[in-house]
Amino acid sequence: MIELEVNMKVVSVANMRMHWAVKARLTKDHRKKAYNALCAVAAPPTPPCTVVLTRVAPRALDGDNLQSAFKAVRDGVADWLGVDDGDQRLDWQYCQRSAGVKVYRVEIEVI
């Protein structure tokens, strides 16, 4: 089992109006941070495996926005595993919990 925390503010961009270049930069940054954090911790396991992504932030998102917010992080985890994020051997689970004011991070757990 691999567990790690990444200091990252994950927000749902589904309802945000932002320039495409800003959104692309944000997506690239989230994907790269997740990938690099996992590479620094351990070698990837061979699927099948379960990946639990937990958003820690002051406010909660609803279910579809939570999954949408994690899209780039999910892609970074899949890059590290060496598979497509739609691979049937992967079980993706999404969680969230509250934290103090201005506390943002992502917890990644690979089981």
CA distance 33 to 16: 22
Tell me which H or E stretch contains 30: helix 20-41
Task: Work out the mean pLDDT of the chain and round it to a whole number.
Answer: 94
% of the chain exceeding 90 in pLDDT:
86
* pLDDT tens by residue, 3-34: 999 999 998 887 788 899 999 999 999 999 99
Tokens standing for residue 51: 């990946």
Residue 94 has pLDDT above 90, yes or no: yes
